[in-house]
Amino acid sequence: MSIRVIEDKCNGCALCIKACPTGAIEVNEKLATIELDKCNFCGSCVSTCRFRAITIEIEKQAKEDLSQYSGVWVFGEQWRGELAPVVFELITAGRELADARKSELSVIILGDNLARASEELSDYPVDKVILCEAPELADYDPERYSRIVSDLCRDLKPEIVLAGATTTGRSFLSRVAVQLYTGLTADCTSLKIGEDGLLHQIRPAFGGNIMAEIVCPYTRPQMATVRHKVIPMSPKSSNGRRPEIVKLDPKPQLFGSRSKILEFIEQMESTVNIVDADVIVSGGRGIQAPDNFALIEELARSLGGAVGASRAAVDAGWIPYSHQVGQTGKTVCPKLYIACGISGAVQHLAGMSSSDTIIAINKDPNAPIFQVADFGLVGDCLEIVPLLTKKVASLRGVRN
């Protein structure tokens, strides 16, 4: 990539200096100069310059024939041979994208003993299952996994690569993007093929106030991580066609890694995976004190649900981060979401507004949470929550 100031066009107006976030531009004798060590090629100066005096050229794009890239790959995240639920959501998205591009959908799985995962996929509308099996791949290692997937992308040239926006997907696909010198949109909420034939990657931006539509026109593959629970799981294949199984042996020189796994510690019971819960009872700053989270836990338990929280409650140290719902926490889509003492900031709504039924309890009748709630209770949640728990327990015959 190179950036250039066109001398004939630049009049030294200095607008680009204000636009540059890295302080890389100076104007001397009515001519802008760019310090390449500081420039991150963000393009702010290019779009700010009224005289079209700055250009960014991406050398790689001009040389590479992008038409050699074809097909959609979904990363088949698995743990001990069990596929992550997000994989089946990515199959829904991947199938639509592959059909729109008239190309194939493949699921690529790295690991060891993958027979169960590959068999499970055989019922789904996937054209190919690409298996990379080796004892060295039994445990997820971002360095090793990214090197292997990058190498396969160079050889097989998929047009689009998708992974779940899980801890695994986020940590490894970003490495693949860097190694392949291509773009990656993290945390997408929807994907589509535009009229230009490109992958349009849609995700909330600026605190959820706008939906950004991002394209990657010059490099391949086009890559995105996609949030869990924003796309429905794929139905099983209706035509009885089974995917072709392709076994690939990664090059042994790609197995090196600087990290070593010493031990796996099972997730403790108290840190429930709220992403998979059908019922979530969440507490916010309106809960007022850490001890009052016991009330939230009791209601959640009586409903067989999990405990969520707003960032304010997490930042106050009342509950661990693993419970945080929202833009910088988890995206959830339970059948029932009960928000207790939560105002309904856009960043919180970004993580829960697609829940089937939302009940809000807040003492402020104008709290924004009521705009997304199906049922609203105006009042003190410290009084209402125990009453609800009692009622639910009596209806279910459960003693708390």
CB of 373: closest distance to ligand FAD in angstroms? 12
CB of 225: closest distance to ligand FAD in angstroms? 17
Please choose, out of 64-72, 113-121, 191-199, 355-363, the segment that lies near ligand FAD by the rule CB under 6 A: 355-363
Q: By CB under 6 A, tell whether 349 contacts ligand FAD.
A: no
Give the whole-angstrom CA distance, residue 32 versus residue 17.
8
Q: By CB under 6 A, tell whether 362 contacts ligand FAD.
A: yes
CB of 400: closest distance to ligand FAD in angstroms? 20
Please choose, out of 29-37, 42-50, 103-111, 376-384, the segment that lies near ligand FAD by the rule CB under 6 A: 376-384
Please choose, out of 41-49, 162-170, 270-278, 363-371, the segment that lies near ligand FAD by the rule CB under 6 A: 363-371
Give the whole-angstrom CA distance, residue 352 versus residue 195.
31
Site residues for ligand FAD, 163-222, by CB under 6 A, read: 207
Please choose, out of 88-96, 238-246, 293-301, 320-328, the segment that lies near ligand FAD by the rule CB under 6 A: 320-328
Please choose, out of 95-103, 179-187, 293-301, 338-346, the segment that lies near ligand FAD by the rule CB under 6 A: 338-346
Q: Which of 382, 386, 392, 393 binds ligand FAD (CB under 6 A)?
A: 382
Two structure tokens written together for 82: 């069990």
Q: Which of 348, 359, 360, 388 binds ligand FAD (CB under 6 A)?
A: 348
Give the whole-angstrom CA distance, residue 30 versus residue 17.
12
Give the whole-angstrom CA distance, residue 250 versus residue 357.
47
Site residues for ligand FAD, 257-296, by CB under 6 A, read: 284-286, 288
Q: By CB under 6 A, tell whether 228 contacts ligand FAD.
A: no
Q: Which of 234, 324, 331, 353 binds ligand FAD (CB under 6 A)?
A: 324
Q: What is the dihedral of CA 115, 118, 122, 128, to 10 degrees?
A: -130
Which residues, in sequence order, are bridge partners of residue 130? Answer: 108, 246
Site residues for ligand FAD, 10-39, by CB under 6 A, read: none
Q: Which of 7, 57, 244, 364 binds ligand FAD (CB under 6 A)?
A: 364
Residue type (1 letter), 395: L
Q: What is the DSSP letter of 269?
A: T
CB of 370: closest distance to ligand FAD in angstroms? 10
Give the whole-angstrom CA distance, residue 204 versus residue 189.
8
For ligand FAD, the closer CB: 142 or 351: 351
**Cα three-residue angle 229-233-237, rounded to 5 degrees:** 170
Which residues of the shown chain bind ligand FAD in the complex (CB under 6 A)?
A: 207, 284-286, 288, 310-313, 324-329, 341-343, 345, 347-348, 351, 361-364, 367, 380-382
